[in-house]
Structure 1
Amino acid sequence: MEKIEIKNKDVIGTYQKQNYNAIAEKYRDPATKYAFKVLNGEILAGYKIKLACFRHLQDLKRSEEHDISFPYHYDLDECKKILNFARLCPDVNVGKPLPLLLWQKAILCLMIGWRDELNHKRFTRVSLSVARTNGKTYLVNIMLWYAYMIEAANKFNQDLAYIGPVAAQAKKGWRYVEMFGHKLSEIPAFKKQFFDRYGVDVQSEQVKGGNTQNNILRMSNESGQFDSYHFLFCVADEAGDTHYTSDNFSKITSGQVQTPNHQFVQISTAYDDPTVPFHSDQLRMTEMMEKDYQRSGDEFLVLVWEQDSPNELDAPETWIKSNPILMIKNNQTMIKGLQTEKDNKLNDGTINDFKNRNLNMWMQLKTATYLKLSEVENSIVNSYNIKGQDVYIGFDSSMFSDNTALAFIFPFFDERKNKQKFFIMQHSFIPFRQSGSIEIKEKQDGIKYRKMVDKGFCTITAHPQGLINIEQVYDWLVNFVNHNNLNVKFFGYDRMGDYRVKELVKTLDANFDWPLLDVAQRTSEIGDPTKFLQERFADNSILMLNDPVLKKALLNAETYEDKIGMQVDKAKATYKIDAVDALIDAMYQAMYATKDYGPLEKGKTEVERMTDKQMLAWYMNPESGLLGGDDDDF
């Protein structure tokens, strides 16, 4: 097949260049119909849904062309099975089955219809996100009970699970699972052929299969007790909640490897912390889907109904992007309800809450947030060449459980945009003495540091007691500068740092001609670079790699303002913002990169601002013009 990569989010333009006539003729199932309607503009949808629809059509073409790199097929009979089952499933609130909309049928078909070479479900992981009150609870129960009653049939000792973020939420969500099961047991065919035949008992904490020992368990992420289970099917409800950790998700998926035809479903509305694994997975998979020619992520289904921009707040005609239930004709009641909720949130100053939960957008709800999620995400680039460039370095030393961070700022001029810009990066050094081990440290901070080591974003301290090893920091820094042939224009550090900072600075001063400056951590000193960095993110003048450590630090940072200016702070000890503190120290001078002045030069003559090497060169050759003098002056 043709090598295709979606650029500039132009899914529709790319779709229109392809020929899907044979696909449209053969596949008339809900998922394929939905894909065509979205891409043909008949149904309004956001970027991520357009991308998922394009992926489905491309995958159908790959399957029809028997692409050897794509060992999957789409089974229409499996689609019919799940849809026939869904037609019998009663909604517990009205006591009878509800007709599913096209987008809901599409979800079920994509989850169940795609199969591998063994005819097992292709998608072992599924991530679904949609705004509140769009019927996700009903869908969750159809999935869970289908897996239990149909996929686990004729099997023994199969475990399935419904998981909530904490025990209280799991108990609340389980009430629907329990009621759903009781309603199913009242259907004559199901009662005789399943519930009575297998001795199924629907209880307040689990569903027990007496004859088969196939059980649905009520569990909470809070307990973290997933190691001994090999779930056939598992659903994590409200997966965007901050209580969920990537470590617990890994326990679930690693245990499922031994179970054929398994599936792990994460479903949620957007929450207010965009650094959670649920959202990170969606961003990662979006990038993979954009590279249609790659086979990375072929077993991960991501479907996200969300608004494309906060600017759509005042365009209710676009709200179907995040509320696909608005596909119901003349659904004026819900539209009116959403508009009323929006007006109420505007009046009480919590409009981000509406964007977050009702428009399914990852909005940080903290009023003192330093940067917006969109500003950080828009700054990310795939690569940047730092070789031989000028660099401004900031250093923030750890106290107690904090990380130690080095930050690097590379000013450059974007001639195409006629604009001064800055490429930023960081490298953190991770202690673990306070936590006791690197494993516990990872859980506390919510960052997989050991994986970040492989990507070059951090170093775990080599100190046997888990303390920061300043020699390790020094060696890494010197090797980084030398390897990339960097011209260090400035090294800023916190003057309140402990003896390790003094040791590092003394060593650097003895061995290099770098301009070193202690930066007082008070608003009068760091207020300007703090504000400058914030504004440069806002006007798209910052570039950075997709570094989870830096991203989390930037999004964790909150602002503290007084009459003099602004500083950054954090709400919790486990919110690491060390890389941001280091960036601000570096920006203390980097913001004057194109100027002939700045804090480093205050009160100094031009000779005094020279390094030792520059001063020696000038003494040896005063006509060199380093002082910018004119021959007529002599």
Structure 2
Amino acid sequence: MAHAEEICPVRDYAERVLSGEIPAAEPVRLACQRHLNDLRDSELRVTTFEYYFDEYARDHAINFFRFLRHSKGKWARQSFELELWQKFIVGSIFGWLHRETQLRRFRTAYEEIPRKNGKSTKVSGVGLYLTLADEEYGAEVYAAATKKDQAKITFDEASRMVRASPDLMKHFRVYKNNLHVIDTGSKFEPLGSDSNSLDGLNVHGGLIDEYHAHKNSAMYDVIESGTSAREHPLIYVITTAGVNQNGPCYQLREYAMKVLKGIEPDETFFAYIATIDDDDDPFDPATWMKANPNLGVSKDIAYMQKQAQKAKHMPTAYVNFLIKDLNKWVNAAVKWIPLHKWDESAGEIDLEALRGRKCYGGLDLSSKLDITAFALVFPPEERDGEYIVLVFFWIPEDDLQEREDRDGFSYSAAIRDGLIYPTPGNVIDYQFIRKTINDLGAIYDIQEIGFDPWNATQTSLELTDDGFTCVPIPQNIKNLSDPTKEFEKLVVAKKLIHGGNRVLRWMVDNTVVRMDENENVAPSKKRSTGRIDGVAAIITAMARAINLEEDNVYEKRGMRSLLDDDEE
């Protein structure tokens, strides 16, 4: 390996960050200040500080990456050259040693960084270093995730880099789920919670990618317990931000911040968190480098501009931009479509022109005591046409004032204007709904009716007897995500014509969507600020429309380039 460089890249990065030459938010500034403080304490031989920074150990790890080769894209088969910020991380983790034992100081590393900053490639390289170059016989290194298929993302990248490097191929034997070093008996494997056995692990290196997606700490705990017999194991957690602030990743993040701030005196814990500061404007390009140290290298500025443009117009895209591109933790509940966007998409509906048109129904059959909604979604008949929606509402006519006081909406005025149908008594008679749907079926060509099987089974059976094709749409986030996103995209593109129905407008304004760690979104009735039955009915109908329409309007318009999310 090469000798120490004249200028230490770890110190150089820290000093340039703290001088303001390299933009960085508070967590990275704290990590840099910690490094410089530790160097001072080490040089002064502060008795309470047991570590020193070894230049050879630093360079040994950093220079190892030059033996790796990229396996994808424009850099394929080129040597991997760490950027200065990456040298800070790798050099810090492997350069600090215990003064007496000469063993590695840091046993846990937490790195949080947005997508497209080369994290998967770097963590794969760390795994290969731990397997081959860490002077550990019988090293067991695992790329760990909740599912083995997810763990294979890191492992497969490492496997491709080995195959692309003649130097590494001299040492490794490459198998489907195993990289094996003959000389030392060391191995690198993917490990998921669904693996055959998690017992008996003797972990030298545990690489946990995308920890934000873990619902609990079970896999982390398995890795940690498996390190007990090793002298200087490393658990390397690398992730983007997420939405679950009650999960294990956010708890580890909070611990990392306490370490960086000196509140928690853990000398064996390393943390690097790239994000923007709380008072930064997320749309200001000058702040983007704080969260994206590889901006202009593996992450293109044009990509950020595109994501920012989407975020300005789409609430869910804004949240996704904050999380995935600026590394900000965001609450899972999001206020959805701004009313000015909704109003801009209103258009005018010619009911006579819709006669005989193909459409899809969505039934949101709420409690008999509350409002119920049925939606018809008409797909476009031509390439650049709009979707048109009609929504019908029912409510019991008794105790109307009580319902108005509770919901803050004038149902009586909506009934007077023909926007809501009252049903006699204090509960909805579902036979009124059945009759209306049959009447609509005589006017429009209803292909299918989607319904929530939780409380509409009997009505769906009756509608089936009437000759309709009824399809259950379980109201979980996975089923509703695609139609929810399509709904939003259509509104933003002014391609969802709803005619300005004020009952539906009120419900859109009430709607809050929930998100999960897989970027799925769906309306949340529990978190919304009022009734959203009409929105739920449209999305249920949209679920069938986008599944069955071969001539999808967006595919033909070529608008995916503007509106679709890009994955890392």
The reply on whether 1:321 has 2:290 as its aligned counterpart is yes
Q: Deviations over 1:117-154 (max 9, x none)?
A: 3111100000011110011112112211111111145x
What does residue range 103-118 of structure 1 map to in structure 2 within 5 Å? 103-116=85-98, 117-118=100-101
Secondary structure, counterpart of 1:43 in structure 2: coil
Q: Output the amino acid matched with 1:179.
A: R
Q: Deviations over 1:78-123 (max 9, x none)?
A: 1111122112211111111133211011111001001113111100
Q: Deviations over 1:392-439 (max 9, x none)?
A: xxxxxxxxxxxxxxxxxxxxxxxxxxxxxxxxxxxxxxxxxxxxxxxx
What does residue range 70-469 of structure 1 map to in structure 2 within 5 Å? 70-93=49-72, 94-116=76-98, 117-152=100-135, 155=137, 157-184=138-165, 186-187=166-167, 190-192=168-170, 195=171, 200-210=172-182, 212-223=184-195, 225-243=197-215, 245-291=216-262, 296-309=265-278, 311-326=280-295, 334-350=300-316, 351-367=318-334
Looking at structure 2, the residues matched to 95 and 32 of structure 1 have their Cα atoms a distance apart, in angstroms, of: 30
Q: What TM-score, normalized to structure 1?
A: 0.50
Looking at structure 1, the residues matched to 333 and 273 of structure 2 have their Cα atoms a distance apart, in angstroms, of: 24
2:115–2:325 contact (8 Å) kept in structure 1: yes
1:234–1:264 contact (8 Å) kept in structure 2: yes
Secondary structure, counterpart of 1:288 in structure 2: helix
1:307–1:322 contact (8 Å) kept in structure 2: yes
Q: What TM-score, normalized to structure 2?
A: 0.55
Secondary structure, counterpart of 1:215 in structure 2: strand
Looking at structure 1, the residues matched to 264 and 247 of structure 2 have their Cα atoms a distance apart, in angstroms, of: 25
Q: Deviations over 1:48-83 (max 9, x none)?
A: 000011110111111111122111111011111112
1:227–1:252 contact (8 Å) kept in structure 2: no
Q: Deviations over 1:509-562 (max 9, x none)?
A: xxxxxxxxxxxxxxxxxxxxxxxxxxxxxxxxxxxxxxxxxxxxxxx9952433
Looking at structure 2, the residues matched to 313 and 319 of structure 1 have their Cα atoms a distance apart, in angstroms, of: 8
Q: Output the amino acid matched with 1:48.
A: P
Looking at structure 2, the residues matched to 159 and 563 of structure 1 have their Cα atoms a distance apart, in angstroms, of: 54
Q: Deviations over 1:322-349 (max 9, x none)?
A: 1001265xx9x81121111121233333
Query: CA 1:27/1:361 → structure 2, altered by over 3 Å: closer, same or farther?
Result: farther
Looking at structure 2, the residues matched to 310 and 271 of structure 1 have their Cα atoms a distance apart, in angstroms, of: 19
Q: Output the amino acid matched with 1:336.
A: A
1:242–1:276 contact (8 Å) kept in structure 2: yes
2:315–2:334 contact (8 Å) kept in structure 1: no
For structure 2, which runs of at least 5 residues remain unmatched after alignment?
Answer: 337-523, 533-568
Query: CA 1:175/1:149 → structure 2, altered by over 3 Å: closer, same or farther?
Result: same
What does residue range 619-630 of structure 1 map to in structure 2 within 5 Å? none
2:259–2:265 contact (8 Å) kept in structure 1: yes
Looking at structure 1, the residues matched to 275 and 180 of structure 2 have their Cα atoms a distance apart, in angstroms, of: 37
1:353–1:365 contact (8 Å) kept in structure 2: no
Q: Output the amino acid matched with 2:43.
A: E
Q: Output the amino acid matched with 1:76.
A: E
2:282–2:322 contact (8 Å) kept in structure 1: yes
Query: CA 1:300/1:261 → structure 2, altered by over 3 Å: closer, same or farther?
Result: same
Secondary structure, counterpart of 2:235 in structure 1: strand
1:226–1:248 contact (8 Å) kept in structure 2: no
Query: CA 1:39/1:224 → structure 2, altered by over 3 Å: closer, same or farther?
Result: farther
Looking at structure 2, the residues matched to 124 and 183 of structure 1 have their Cα atoms a distance apart, in angstroms, of: 30
Query: CA 1:59/1:327 → structure 2, altered by over 3 Å: closer, same or farther?
Result: farther
Query: CA 1:260/1:303 → structure 2, altered by over 3 Å: closer, same or farther?
Result: same
- Counterpart pick for 2:41 among 27, 51, 62: 62
Secondary structure, counterpart of 2:111 in structure 1: strand
Query: CA 1:353/1:365 → structure 2, altered by over 3 Å: closer, same or farther?
Result: farther
1:237–1:267 contact (8 Å) kept in structure 2: yes
Looking at structure 1, the residues matched to 202 and 108 of structure 2 have their Cα atoms a distance apart, in angstroms, of: 14
Secondary structure, counterpart of 1:145 in structure 2: helix
Report the alpha carbon displacement of residue 227 of structure 1 after superposing the two structures with TM: 4.0
Report the alpha carbon displacement of residue 231 of structure 1 after superposing the two structures with TM: 0.9
Query: CA 1:203/1:557 → structure 2, altered by over 3 Å: closer, same or farther?
Result: farther
Looking at structure 1, the residues matched to 259 and 82 of structure 2 have their Cα atoms a distance apart, in angstroms, of: 30
1:242–1:273 contact (8 Å) kept in structure 2: no
The reply on whether 1:50 has 2:29 as its aligned counterpart is yes
Q: Output the amino acid matched with 1:324.
A: P
1:613 aligns with none
1:307–1:319 contact (8 Å) kept in structure 2: yes
Secondary structure, counterpart of 2:213 in structure 1: coil
Query: CA 1:206/1:152 → structure 2, altered by over 3 Å: closer, same or farther?
Result: farther
Q: Output the amino acid matched with 2:156.
A: R
Report the alpha carbon displacement of residue 225 of structure 1 after superposing the two structures with TM: 4.7
Secondary structure, counterpart of 2:127 in structure 1: helix
1:69–1:295 contact (8 Å) kept in structure 2: no
What does residue range 463-482 of structure 1 map to in structure 2 within 5 Å? none
2:203–2:227 contact (8 Å) kept in structure 1: yes
Report the alpha carbon displacement of residue 31 of structure 1 after superposing the two structures with TM: 1.1
2:110–2:238 contact (8 Å) kept in structure 1: yes
Report the alpha carbon displacement of residue 234 of structure 1 after superposing the two structures with TM: 1.4
When structure 1 is superposed on structure 2, of 89-98 and 37-46 the one drifting more is 89-98
Secondary structure, counterpart of 2:527 in structure 1: strand
Q: Output the amino acid matched with 1:253.
A: E
Looking at structure 1, the residues matched to 527 and 18 of structure 2 have their Cα atoms a distance apart, in angstroms, of: 42
Looking at structure 1, the residues matched to 309 and 71 of structure 2 have their Cα atoms a distance apart, in angstroms, of: 31
2:13 aligns with 34
Looking at structure 2, the residues matched to 58 and 558 of structure 1 have their Cα atoms a distance apart, in angstroms, of: 49
Looking at structure 2, the residues matched to 557 and 323 of structure 1 have their Cα atoms a distance apart, in angstroms, of: 36
1:599 aligns with none
2:106–2:270 contact (8 Å) kept in structure 1: yes
Secondary structure, counterpart of 2:208 in structure 1: strand
For structure 1, which runs of at least 5 residues remain unmatched after alignment?
Answer: 1-25, 370-555, 565-634
Looking at structure 2, the residues matched to 310 and 181 of structure 1 have their Cα atoms a distance apart, in angstroms, of: 43
Count of aligned residue pairs for this structure pair: 337
Q: Output the amino acid matched with 1:63.
A: S
Q: Output the amino acid matched with 1:561.
A: T
| CA root-mean-square deviation | 2.7
Looking at structure 2, the residues matched to 176 and 142 of structure 1 have their Cα atoms a distance apart, in angstroms, of: 9
Q: Output the amino acid matched with 2:20.
A: G
Q: Output the amino acid matched with 1:254.
A: S
Looking at structure 2, the residues matched to 42 and 206 of structure 1 have their Cα atoms a distance apart, in angstroms, of: 43
2:112–2:241 contact (8 Å) kept in structure 1: yes
1:235–1:265 contact (8 Å) kept in structure 2: yes
Report the alpha carbon displacement of residue 361 of structure 1 after superposing the two structures with TM: 0.8
